[in-house]
Structure 1
Amino acid sequence: MKRYWLFFSQCITVLLAAWFVVATLKPEWLRSAQRSADGMTLLQAPAASPLSRAAGSLSAPAQKASPAVVSISTSKNRTSRNTDPWSRFFEGDTEENTGGLGSGVIVSPEGHILTNNHVVEDADDIEVILADGRRAAAKVIGTDPDTDLALLKIQLDKLPVIVLGQPQDLQVGDVVLAIGNPFGVGQTVTSGIVSALGRSHLGINTFENFIQTDAAINPGNSGGALVDVHGHLMGINTAIYSRSGGNMGIGFAIPVSTAQQVMQDLLKNGKVSRGWIGVEPQDLTPELAESFQLPAAGKQAWPQGVVITGVLQNGPAAKAGIRPGDVIVQVAGQNVGNVSELLTQVASLQPGTTTDVKVWRRHGELVLRLTPSERPTQRKPNR
């Protein structure tokens, strides 16, 4: 009997010691099953380790990129004319204050922020709200309405900065996240895929080369970040296709490569300088190509070209000898396939620097010497 009692006491001692060790080192094991006051047993999962997320979770890129995405609040002061003569005599005209919301991305430790031009256009005051709650007034470094980009700067210390990605590595079908402040509800992360690359002819901007995505983008997301699964910036969200004003699964972002080029020009000159020749171009259809008697592809490899339907009087193209009805087929040695390519190639020319332009006119080709001017700034309507 004494032997059994000794064995029993040793077992109890071992069990208590094991319970103590587990309670100290792995307390979550003891919480997997809990009995409530009314006798019902509840099963509870152990706390997950930050390093053991479920397969397919996008929390890592979201946590990496989100701190660098900011909300932008703007205000405009407008004078409202008082139409009542008696009231106007005593009160005068009244000031109305209107505001807008958008998003932006911190791209440098010095406080530079990329956003859309239409977010800050005509704003009298711009306030940036960081994800950590800090606020700061922003100064506009420069804007580029032709690409709908703007560069701001704030003065704060220890700023989170996003990592710029390599858009040439982006493929249709890749997973992306859209981060911004839709409808002013607060920072929001949505996911989707890259639906298309190089979207143009949308009539959104003068120069278009959009990333299309089905990640939910809504009003207020403008200027926010489109990031890849590594949390790297791939684009600046700028517009949506919608019949209702809300997301319909077709959103557009400006590639970060375009944003970098614009940002460098804005930092250096406060504006983006592009070439301009003063023509009205039109895409060349097969019917037009036949009417202009362009060489057939089977007889001679010939680029599609762009028909010039109008030439500005005393403009660079007119001075170079370009006429309505000419077909521009090359600019500075590069083939021209459509209007979008012509705009891009002309824009890349250095204003004031003469270059060669090849045109087809009346059964033959001509090489004209053309000196582009600087492209006039065009204002885009708010969206």
Structure 2
Amino acid sequence: MIHDYAIIGGGIIGLATARALLERRPGASLILLEKEDRLGRHQTGRNSGVIHSGIYYAPGSFKARLCREGAARTKEFCTEHGIPFQTRGKLIVATRKDEIARLDALHERAGQNGIRTELLDAAGIHRCEPNIAGLKAIRVPEAAIVSYAAILHAMADELRKKGADIRYRAAPVAIREAATHVGIETADDSISARHLIACAGLQSDRIARIAGLKIRHRIVPFRGEYYRLSERCNDIVSAMIYPVPEPGLPFLGTHLTPMIDGFVSVGPNAMLGLAREGYPKFSLNARDMADMAAFPGFWKAIFSFIRPGMKELGNSLFKRRYLAECQRYCPGLTLEDLTPMECGIRAQAVMADGSMQHDFLFLDSTRMLHVCNAPSPAATSALPIGDMIADRVLAGISA
């Protein structure tokens, strides 16, 4: 049997793409291959569960539009499927004088992006969040929290009802493109499809390479280490609390998040990982390390970010330093409040010149489309990203 579409990757981008394809081509034959024994084992199932508002992105930019649309559609999807979410809002808090100008610039950007915000002084911060200290803050009332794993499983149920075949433990070991189809070999099966879409996240560069595509980047893993706050802190904040982002860095900083399950998390930091899928602390993977070491762009990137990298290393190694970052805006936290949680690992595409790719990165051929980088916040924007990928695939078919 030749399927109409094969999708590699059982994260939220892969399922959103499958959903969009079947909406546009009802009755099409679609198979989705996931290498793990269940969906969402990696980035989708290991994040802070925030539905972002789009405040950080350049006014009118593609990412800003995707995020705004994605936030609205994610909430609509949750309402339709009975998935709980909570619109808690977000405070971005300046705790130092040198952060105020950057905060004001963010507030101006929010207005240009059509995002409803409110500026708070120190007294206003205290009124909204009595346990939070700062000089000035932006309040973003529309930011929300959800379980993206719950969204993922609702999508999977939809796909099965539409006839999609979702297979587990199906890691591709060979991919060969022919004139009429793409052949995909796994350890247990041979699969053929007229079109292949790869949404492989942490393994996206490797999947592209085994498919015979030339790549000019590598995926570099960044560990996001979280702590769960003690039960006494379950009501320490109502909204999410974020620091002002550091200029030039692709990460938003260590933040407090009331989770949909009722506890509060703090994190993530952004620590270079030495294993793409090694979640315990100090995980090493020889193949992953060799891939990075052999890529000149990796060394250029590391030297560009040596100072913030050393700071993140210190925060990772020493719990008291991690706590100090949090106490900047939540001074009541203590060491005893921090219990380690499972970390997440972000797939960051790094280019040959050492630059970190902050936009989408696609590689394609006649019958394949590989999503090699889906920029943050990909989970929030998953539904419109899936539409965009499906439209791109179908446009290529009709061209």
Name the TM-score, length of structure 2 as normaliser. Answer: 0.22
Name the TM-score, length of structure 1 as normaliser. Answer: 0.22
Which structure has more relative contact order (CA 8 Å, sep 6+)? It is 2
Which structure's residues are more often strand, by fraction? 1
The structure that has the greater radius of gyration is 1
